[in-house]
Chain A
Amino acid sequence: MENWTGRERTQLDAILDQLIPANRDRNIPAAGELGIADFLTAEANQNSDLCAAVSALLAKAAKLEGGTSPDVVRQLEAALPREFKKLLIATYKGYYSRPDMRACFGVGEHPVHPEGYGVPPEPPEVIAELTAPVRARGPFYRDPAR
């Protein structure tokens, strides 16, 4: 179920683009253009607090002048801090739960089980060399029984 009108949805996309902006050099999209509003809609259908928070922010945004610039978003944050934090958290969840976005930061797109990551064990001689200065200090604890 869509919670917001077409105009509100456009405004929401613009706000989301400010929360997580794009990095054009690395082809990383902003949150609005990635469609995170769809995630928020689905979440809001399960979570009336989030729905109310986003609706309140959109109502406030409609009264502010200046489009959806960073300054306007900062005004929203100052005016409705509790609601803004709910939106911010939900936006981060929606954006970074996308496997393709995880991959932009060096983290695998795949579910971590069963594949995991290949981390080779250090050869014993490497560990022996690294720990040598620690071993050289000798016993390093208090033992009241000794």
Chain B
Amino acid sequence: MANEPVDVLIIGAGASGAAIAWSLLETRMRILCLEQGAHLSDQDFPSRREDYELARYAEFSCDPNVRQLKQDYPINSQDSCITPVNWNGVGGSTINFLGHWPRMKPSDFRTRTLDGVGEDWPVDYHTLAPFYDINDQNTGVSGLGGNPGYPEYTPPLPPIPIGKLGQTLAKGFNEMGWHWWPSDVSILSQDRDGRQKCVNAGTCDLGCAAGAKGGTNFTYWPMLESAGVELRTECRVREIQVDENTGFAKGVLYHGPDGQLHEQKAELVVVACNGVGTPRLLLNSSSKLFPDGLANRSGMVGKNLMFHPLTGVVGVFDEPMKGHEGPMACSILSQEFYESDPSRGFVRGYGLHSGRSTTPMTYALGGYGIDNPIPWGAEHREIMDNVYPYLAGLTVVSEDLPEEHNRVTLDPELTDSDGIPAPKITYRLGENTRKMLKHGEERATELLLAAGARRILGKSDDKVWWRAGWHQMGTCRMGDNPETSVVNGWGRSHDVKNLFIVDGSIFVTAGAVNPTSTIQALALYIGDSIKTNIETLFD
């Protein structure tokens, strides 16, 4: 079944797909977005239910292998110590992300030059800075200007409360003489554009029913749909098709909500399916011209997968920390150990993130993203009564380095409900990352004690968090050299001149910060580059 051709076809309605659609609005091109999931309605948000925590382990799990909803695709993570997590629907993973919004730092774009690892990006911080600013305005970012950890910028809204927990840890950082700053967050500290300010529900992962969190379902999509961008939901793209004569992308085949296969032609195809979904789609789009997967003459599609491996340290304090009150992941952030220091025995660095703690069920089951229930019996009683309310912790968020053996491939047997081959993750922690995480655990312990913790809860193993695969990067990386990268410095495929990639897969290195603000700034930059180069776009 064929549809009327469009000018721009965007695959994926998440962070990057929405941002580039907004950037291209002014071209007056006909824009269509295909999204495999649906719009969430108000009653779909579990935070309005009394038993809201149960949803975290069922239909609102961050793990698609747990949710197993129709729009989800399974992911084989058996050969990985981290499993990818996501959301499939309008808003993509901004539906269930935690809204932490730090920018990457200038050095992140020049790791080869500065530290001899990874590769330099074909863009730099200062090129992206105006796009970070635009995106912060569109999203409604809260934070405190003047952070000495960055070139000067000021978020549009004042910071959200850091709370008792944040204040306690901040004093500890000051005691140690270490950097910290209130977190930038894509969470409203004031009502804005019809969205309600944060009510400190503490369940950002269950979707924000108030609209305070900057999911693109609340930020970009209302603007886009009222401006005439067509959003076709419950439409899963099976493959991108290529004209064998021209070598250009001519459109896609997708499964519609009617279960039928449809054809959609387009002049320009934009892929925005994240660092796992995008290589999966390209590898599933092989043809005579591209037998190893679309846009994969370099052989780099799916390689260099990077996450942000996480570990955490928790302290027990004398007073209740009220850690369940306030945005889950965002209170304060220290970048004291972010930049390289040869004396530490590893290159690059990590952030110390003070999230808050969590609700009783999640704590009893091992913590967010962890399947390791706390002890039963008398010990259980002791932990829940005398430990849980008094907790404050730090998460060590490490920079992953690009390594070709960490990759996304196609599983030979596993498929989604439409029979499309599923992704397989092959990933192991690098030695540099292990050293970094150990260093981070030791510093976090020192900090918690300086902040007044009476006891540090020991960790029984050296494993990283299993469901830490929020940030999926590097699998279709940018670069000037077509032999070592998939897209050029403004997101255009080296091999297919009307194919663009705008999600986290194009990251060259990972930094040690949550990537969504950079993903969207890049998407806006790519949109701007398309407009700037419109006369010679396909040359």
Interface residues, chain A, with chain B CB atoms under 8 Å away: 18-21, 23, 26, 28, 70, 73, 85, 88-89, 92-93, 95-99, 101-102, 105-107, 109-122, 124, 126-127, 130-131, 133-135, 137-146
What are 7 A-B interface contacts by the 8 Å CB criterion? Answer: A93-B365, A107-B324, A116-B210, A131-B146, A133-B177, A138-B148, A142-B106
Closest to B339 in A: A142
Contact (Cβ within 8 A) B361 A133? no
B23 within 8 A of A: no
A89: which B residues are within 8 A, CB to CB? 365, 371, 373
B203 within 8 A of A: yes
A44 to chain B, nearest CB (A): 15
B421 within 8 A of A: no
Select the residue from A95, A99, A141 with max chain B CB neighbours within 10 A.
A141
B22 within 8 A of A: no
1/0 per residue, CB under 8 A from A, across B112-123: the answer is: 011000000000
A94→B293 CA distance, assembly (Å): 47
B380 within 8 A of A: yes
Contact (Cβ within 8 A) B210 A140? no
B48: which A residues are within 8 A, CB to CB? 111, 113-114
Contact (Cβ within 8 A) B201 A134? no
Contact (Cβ within 8 A) A119 B325? yes
B371: which A residues are within 8 A, CB to CB? 89
Task: Name the one of B47, B54, B125, B146 contacting A113, with C-beta atoms under 8 angstroms.
Answer: B47
Size of the chain B interface, CB-CB below 8 angstroms: 75
User: Interface majority SS on B: helix, strand, loop or mixed?
Assistant: loop
A110→B202 CA distance, assembly (Å): 13
User: Interface majority SS on A: helix, strand, loop or mixed?
Assistant: loop
A145: which B residues are within 8 A, CB to CB? 106, 124-126
Task: Given A20-B376, A105-B388, A133-B177, check contact A141 B150 (CB 8 Å).
Answer: yes
B150: which A residues are within 8 A, CB to CB? 141
A131: which B residues are within 8 A, CB to CB? 144, 146, 170, 181-182
Task: Given A130-B174, A143-B151, check contact A106 B179 (CB 8 Å).
Answer: no
B21 within 8 A of A: no
A143→B109 CA distance, assembly (Å): 10
B171 within 8 A of A: yes
Contact (Cβ within 8 A) A144 B110? yes
B376: which A residues are within 8 A, CB to CB? 18-20, 73, 88
A134→B182 CA distance, assembly (Å): 11
A88→B162 CA distance, assembly (Å): 34
Closest to A133 in B: B174
Contact (Cβ within 8 A) A21 B339? no
Contact (Cβ within 8 A) A130 B171? yes
B365: which A residues are within 8 A, CB to CB? 89, 92-93
Besides A130-B171, A137-B148, 6 more A-B contacts (Cβ < 8 Å) are: A93-B365, A107-B324, A111-B48, A113-B203, A130-B167, A134-B180
